[in-house]
Structure 1
Amino acid sequence: MTWPPLREELRGLAPYGAPQLSLEQAPVQLNVNENPYPPSAACVADIARAAGEAAAGLNRYPDREFVELRAALAAYLGQDGGRDLTPAHVWAANGSNEVMLQLLQAFGGPGRVALSFAPTYSMYPEYARDTLTEWVVGHREEDFTLDLDHARDLVLERRPSVVLLPSPNNPTGTALPPEAVGLLCEAAGDGLVVVDEAYGEFRRAGTPSALELLPDHHNLVVTRTMSKAFALAGARLGYLAADPAICDAIRVVRLPYHLSAVTQATALSALRHTDELLAQVDELRAERDRTVAWLREQGLTVADSDANFALFGTFDDRHAVWQALVDRGVLIRETGPSGWLRVSMGTPAEMGQFRTALTEVMKEMS
């Protein structure tokens, strides 16, 4: 046996992760869809106070059901289309990544299928792999929307136990219309339809949240994160809203006391400052729209985006473009279909540096 005794299907694989460069190497970091604005001073002070109070009791395990946090998250979602949500409808974990993994642990597994439509978030097949769930992938149209007939037929054919539908989609930024969610919930039968709204707060005006459909579909799950809109990527807090029976099922596979007391205190503090933190979202939406318009003015193709990033292209050698931008101190993401690149929205100054660098690179390579 080869040492160490790793599962055969994992041998030779590299761990997931975007390239990480220091600020000295790339002062403008626009590659992982972070919020470029840190929490407000008032929020930071509140977190420090709450974490200090939690620290005084760190000799004890945290509330493993985190009822106070679930209640606060239910109240927040109620302001964004979630009707009549209670703590029983909400679950949370260390980032939406852990939420997704727990969903696959509980509802996937050997002999079961997880399904999505490419291009989509590159971690989804890894969740399936790690839980020994068969991974099936359909495909999107050229504009990255879903052909609903194709999507429904594939769901009916493969009968997945979990359908993963990011909206807005990563890496394209494409949002799903409500009729697509409803149609696939009906096609999935008793299988779960998970609408991943990690970037939901950035959607354009008039684009509804799938939260509005929860009362109509017992198999619908809507996931969110505090990493993006709430500027808490370093805190690692993701959550979902679903039928209470789904939340109860996840409790079977969650690790004991999986959310630390400090994490719970941090998230509760941020939720007390929702208005001021989400005020930054409006600025990032405007910056996204300006960036999309500018990229199109340069003759590039840009996917319509409801997220805090833009996918643009196409380039004969996208890696050369990516590297040339890095050489100028600007780090973006080489991801998505061949020929495309993705830029996260930064501050106006950072986006100005991105535009200058990309102009230079395109002129140099023309």
Structure 2
Amino acid sequence: MTSLDDLPLRDDLRGKSPYGAPQKVVPVALNVNENTHPIPEDVAHDIVARVAAAIIGLNRYPDREFTQLRTALAGYLGHGLVPEQLWAANGSNEVLQHILQAFGGPGRRALGFAPTYSMYGLLSGGTGTEWVTAERDADFELAPGTAVAAVERHDPDVVLLCAPNNPTGTPLSLDTIAAVADAARGVVVVDEAYFEFADPGTPSALTLLEGRPRLLVSRTMSKAFAFAGARVGYLAADPAVIDALRLVRLPYHLSALTQAAALGALAHADEMLAMVDEIRSQRERIVRELAALGYRPYRSGANFVLFGGVDDPHAVFEALLERGILIREIGLPGCLRVTAGTEAETTAFLEAMAAFAPARTAAGA
């Protein structure tokens, strides 16, 4: 049987592994930061009706400029944005791929701050962009001075800032984002995939766009909108950036069905996002109860919690899996990550973690 070694694969791809979080059918799946709440029934019916209407016209190509969707996204984001400043693709990963295709590539460099979203490096490699990382401050924080020093040291063509950061959940201040945007020669991408889960009143990097034509802010409908299976990501930036992304996108890259489904979800944005407060409360519950058990949860502005103090992460991961609870091993020593699910899912996880920490519970009594 043929293997990769037998094929004329690009040399820079040899030895690499594809992205792949475990996909297992378990009662409690809390490993990939999905919104575990189902889409409200009335919203689902509206989306189905819109998709059904779109099916009638599937003999024609979809609107290449997805005009209605860009208008709806601009309305959802606010901040004075207009449709000409919006872009969308099949998940925020494709948005990021478009950015690296347009502004990265052979002979160019992308910078991130480790640990961060693993797809940044994979997308960089896939586009022939050199991927470099710089260290964060203590507890995975990122101060303006630390970030600017890395920009000055590496002189990147693309800077990728995850806000809040994945896999650590660490919020990122506007001071750091503004400092990087003002110091960088290339484009600066702020990945706000989890922004809707931030504490109320947290300002978005969207407030920094005016006067910064090389600042880009990406979002996704996968998380807060419970739309992971639909694959819809989007971007706000200067209209010139949107023109650049048109040069690298595939023709008609957003299907008519995707556009119809996304429009249906956005039409019910308030109802779709009503579950965010509940998810946020479960995140805070996880933080409190893990800390009481003697673990070390890190600061999170996302729908997940990274926690340290785990003596044997793989053993705990496997023990949880045996109980039908799937969380995430992320390769950080002594750490695991868990998504904030429904109240029942969170209870199952916390009860299991309590069973694994009798010494900690006794010590804290």
How far 1:207 moved relative to its partner?
1.8
- Match for residue 213 of structure 1 among 208, 213, 224: 208
Give the AA of the match of 1:18: A
- 1:124 is aligned, of 120, 123, 133, to 120
- Residue 29 of structure 1: aligned partner: 29
Q: TM-score, length-normalised on structure 2?
A: 0.95
Q: Which amino acid aligns with 1:137?
A: T
Look up the match of 1:10: 13
1:110 is aligned to 106
Percent of pairs identical after alignment? 56
Residues 73-222 of structure 1: pairs in structure 2 closer than 5 A: 73-78=73-78, 83-189=79-185, 191-222=186-217
Gaps (5+ residues) in structure 1? none
Specify the code of the residue in structure 1 equivalent to 2:56: A
CA distance in 1, matches of 2:93, 2:334: 27
Q: Is the 8 A contact 1:119 1:336 kept in 2?
A: no
Partner residue in 2 for 1:49: 49
* TM-score, normalised with respect to structure 1: 0.95
Aligned 8 A contact 2:192 2:218 in 1: yes
Match of 2:133, SS state, is: strand
**SS in structure 2 at match of 1:342:** strand
Count of residues in Structure 1 that have an aligned counterpart in Structure 2? 358
Matched, 1:255 2:250: yes
- With 180-189 and 148-157 compared, the bigger mean Cα shift is at 148-157
**1:354 alignment partner in structure 2:** 349
Deviates more, 1:110-119 or 1:209-218: 209-218
Match of 1:305 in 2: 300
- Measured after TM superposition, the shift of residue 150 of structure 1 is 2.5
Q: What do the CA deviations read for 1:237-287 (whole angstroms, capped 9, x no partner)?
A: 000000000011000000000000000000000001101111100110111
Which moved further from structure 2: 296-305 or 257-266? 296-305
1:30-71 deviations in Å (ceiling 9; x for gaps):
000000111111111111100111000001000010011000
What corresponds to 1:330 in structure 2?
Answer: 325
- Stretch deviating more after TM superposition (150-159 or 193-202): 150-159
Distance 1:2 1:334 in 2: 29
Decide whether the 8 Å contact of 1:172 with 1:303 is kept in 2.
yes
Cα separation, 2, equivalents of 1:2 and 1:293? 49
- Cα deviation digits, residues 185-214 of structure 1 (max 9, x gap): 01103x111000000000012321111111
SS of the residue corresponding to residue 217 of structure 2 reads strand
Structure 1 vs Structure 2 CA RMSD:
1.5
Equivalent position amino acid for 1:52 in 2: A
Change (3 A) 1:145 1:365: closer
